[in-house]
Structure 1
Amino acid sequence: MKVLHVNAGLEAGGGLTHIVNLLKEAKKEGEDFSLLCLAEGPVARAAREAHLQVAVLGINSRYDLASLGKLAAFINNGNYDIIHTHGARANLFVSLIRRKLSAKWCVTVHSDPYLDFADRGILGKLFTAANLYALKKSDCVFAVTKNFANLLIQKAHVDRNKVHVIYNGIFFHQDSQIPAKYPEPTFNLINVARVEKVKGQELLLHALKNLDNANVHLYIAGDGSQMVALKDLVQKLDLGPQVTFQGFMTQKQLQNLYRRMDLAVLTSYSESFPLVLLEACDNLVPLLSTDVGDIKMMIPDQDSGFVAKVGDVTSITNALRKAVATPKNELEEMAIREKTYITEHFSVANQLETIIQEYQAIIKR
């Protein structure tokens, strides 16, 4: 079975990690998977660094519809059994050439399609409509949470027989491979996320202010359009000594920072199945998240982590206060329990096995 994954190529967050990890596991298992990026960017670079099969089509803008013939030729000349797209732009381009392709077509929905372009006005509405149209034309849709699957079926009216829930996974390390924790006098929080409104960092800053505990320090690892606004908010709330903006960090840099962290915090308004929390868990950092996506599959009970209401500063403050008040040895035990649970349920190997089963079923149909 020959499979081509297609992505715009500009993703720098969880989508990139998802694609590269999936193809790395496929290579390890001897599967014939390759990657096509519409444009040069972070995804192609990450794939090359992982020694994966990757090609770049060379489309220069999201409006470059003249390259559709080039895309169709690349796919048909490759004699692929499955085309698997990730992201609205790749979905749209393949939908426009669907009738020219003999391969079956699968899509992974990594995020809420109604929110992907929510802040782009009329143009955003057009992109949203085009993406939803593309999803309906595909042969199979993988949703990374049950919530997304229900949204696609009930609101977007995608055929329920096409929609399958497949949770994200990562490569987990043995505990002996994790660098030893570096004890610090402060209680350190880490938020790893793009600095965008949907990630809710302003909620976290207000909660930190409400906590009124100078011994708590927040590290924000990420970059994005809200950086200036968040730095202004830090000054307005007089939190300067308690907040450090790290900017974008590599996995190696994050792993070193995790050594000093007591709690990984995600206060997003919307998420799928956040890989950043799986990665924090792998590094034996306990978790706190708003109740987004299928987070309760990841944090199944109060012994596994802390969950707060979405968009609710008071709830986030209370969850933070509870975490800070928990003795550090109990937090360490919580992190070990959570990693044991997550390793059993959300590995890349499990993810790949389920996806291949669906590929085979689609080809048979």
Structure 2
Amino acid sequence: MKVLHVNAGLENGGGLTHIINLLKEAKNEQQNFTLLCLADGPVAQAARTAKLNVQVLGIKSRYDLGGLNKLANFINQGNFNIVHTHGPRANLFLSLIRRKITAKWCITIHSDPYLDFAGRGLKGKIFTKVNLHAISQADCIFAVTKRFANLLIKKVKINPEKVHVIYNGTFFHEDSQIPAKYEHPNFNIVNVARAEKIKGQALLLQALKKLNNANAHLFIVGDGTELNSLKNLAQQLKLGPQVTFQGFMTHKQLKNLYRRMDLAVLTSYSESFPLVLLEASDNLLPLLSTAVGDIEVMIPDQKYGFVANIGDVDSICTQLKQAIATPKEQLKEMAQREKSYVAGHFSLKQQLESILQVYNKIE
């Protein structure tokens, strides 16, 4: 079976990690997967670094429809059995050539399609409508949470038989492969997320202020449109000495930072099934998240981590306080318990096997 994964190529975050890791696992399992990026960018670069089979179509923008015939020809001449798209732009392009190709078409829904273009006015409403129409045309849809699956079935009116819930996975390492932690005097909290409103870092800063604990230090990792606003908010709240903005970090840099961290925190308003938390767990960090997506599947109860209410500064502060008050040895046991649990349920091997089962049914 020949499978083509298609992405716009400009992803830089969880979407990129999902695609690259899935294709790495497919390569490990000797599956015939190819990645096609509509434009050169972070995804193609990451694929080249990983020595994956990647091609770039060279489409300049979402308005550049001149590449549609090139895309159809690439698919048909490559004799692909399955085309699997990731992201609204790739979905749109496939919907426009759907009748020109013989391959079956799958889509992964990485995020809430009603929020992908939120805050962009009329243009955002049009893009949302176009993306939803494209999604409805696919032969099968992979939703990374049950909530997304229910949304597609009940609100977008997708045939339930076309929708499959397959959770994100990651590569898990043996504990002996994880570098030892550095001793440090403070309680260090790390937030790895794009600096965007939907990621809720402003809530985290407000919760840190309310916590009123000078021993708690926050490290925010990631770039985005809200970065300067967050820096200004940290200054307004007089949190300067307690907050470090790391900017974008490579996986290697991040793994080194994890050696000085005590807790990984995600305070988003909306998420799918956060890979950053799986990766933090792999590095033996206890987790704190807002109740986004299917987080109750990742953190089933309080023995496995801390869960706060979405958009609730008081709730986030309470959970931070509880984490800090937990003895270090108990936090270590919690991190070990969580890693054992997620490694047993959300490996990339399991994710790939579930996807292949669906491919085989529709091919």
Using the size of structure 2 for normalisation, the TM-score is 1.00
4+ residue segments displaced more than 2 Å? none
Structure 1 residue 14 corresponds to structure 2 residue 24 = no
Residues 215-244 of structure 1: per-residue CA shift (max 9 Å, x gap)? 000000000000111011001100000000
Partner of 1:188: 188
Identity between Structure 1 and Structure 2 (%): 70
**Amino acid corresponding to residue 105 of structure 2 in structure 1:** W
The whole-number CA distance in structure 2 between the counterparts of 1:125 and 1:288 is 33
One-letter code aligned to 1:10: L
User: Which residue of 2 is the match for residue 113 of structure 1?
Assistant: 113
How far the C-alpha of 1:66 sits from its partner, in A, is 1.3
Match for 1:244: what amino acid? T
Query: Residue type of the partner of 1:288?
Result: L
Q: Distance in 1 between matches of 2:16 and 2:57?
A: 17
| Map of 2:3 onto structure 1 | 3
Cα deviation for residue 264 of structure 1 reads 0.1
Q: How far apart are the structure 2 equivalents of 1:332 and 1:233?
A: 32
Deviations 1:16-71 (A, max 9, x none): 11111111111111110010000000000000111110000000111101111111
After TM superposition, give the deviation of residue 176 of structure 1 in Å. 0.5
Unpaired segments ≥5 residues, structure 2: none
Q: Supply the distance in 1 between the matched residues of 2:11 and 2:23 (Cα, whole angstroms).
A: 16
Cα RMSD after superposing both structures: 0.5
Shift of 1:201: 0.2
Q: Distance in 2 between matches of 1:56 and 1:235?
A: 43
Determine helix, strand or coil for the equivalent of 1:122.
Answer: helix
Equivalent AA in structure 2 for residue 349 of structure 1: K
In the alignment, the residues of structure 1 paired with residue 250 and residue 297 of structure 2 have an alpha-carbon distance, to the nearest angstrom, of: 27
1:307 has 2:315 as partner:
no
**1:269-322 Cα shifts (integer Å, max 9, x gaps):** 000000000000000000000000000100011000000000000100100000
Q: How does 1:28-43 map to 2 (within 5 A)?
A: 28-43=28-43
Opposite residue 229 of structure 1, the aligned amino acid is: S
Matched residue, 1:55: 55
Structure 1 residue matching 2:52: 3-state secondary structure: coil
Question: Secondary structure at the residue paired with 1:117?
Answer: coil
- 1:119-198 to structure 2, matched below 5 A, reads 119-198=119-198
CA distance in structure 1 between the partners assigned to 2:240 and 2:157 by the alignment:
47
Aligned to 1:258: 258
Instruction: Answer yes or no: is 1:287 the counterpart of 2:290.
Output: no
C-alpha distance in 2 between matches for 1:74 and 1:238: 55
Give deviations 1:241-273, integer Å, cap 9, x for gaps.
000000000000000000000000000000000
1:73 counterpart residue number: 73
2:203 paired residue number: 203
**Aligned position for 2:101:** 101
Q: Which runs of 5+ in 1 are unaligned?
A: none
Residue 157 of structure 1 and its aligned partner are, at CA, apart by 1.1
CA distance in 2, matches of 1:308, 1:348: 27
Q: CA deviation at 1:158?
A: 1.2
Deviates further, 151-160 or 30-39? 151-160
User: Which amino acid letter does the alignment assign opposite residue 168 of structure 1?
Assistant: N
Secondary structure of the 2:334 match is helix
- Residues 80-91 of structure 1: matches in 2 within 5 Å? 80-91=80-91
Report the 3-state secondary structure (helix = DSSP H, G, I; strand = E; otherwise coil) of the residue aligned with 2:247: coil
- What amino acid is aligned across from residue 195 of structure 1 in structure 2? A
Q: Which amino acid aligns with 1:281?
A: S
Counterpart in the other structure of 1:230 = 230
**Residues 1:324 and 2:363 aligned together:** no
State the partner residue of 2:64.
Answer: 64
Match of 1:240 in 2: 240
Q: Partner residue of 1:44?
A: 44
| Residue aligning to 1:346 | 346
Local SS of the residue matching 1:97: helix
Within the alignment, does 1:92 sit opposite 2:88 as a pair?
no
* SS across alignment from 1:113: coil
Aligned to 1:220: 220
Partner of 1:46, secondary structure, is helix
Please state whether the residue corresponding to 1:244 is helix, strand or coil.
strand
The size of the alignment, in residue pairs, is: 363
Q: CA deviation at 1:119?
A: 1.4
C-alpha separation between the residues in 1 aligned to 2:91 and 2:18?
A: 16
Which letter does structure 1 place at the counterpart of 2:210? N
Deviation at 1:183, TM superposition (A): 1.3
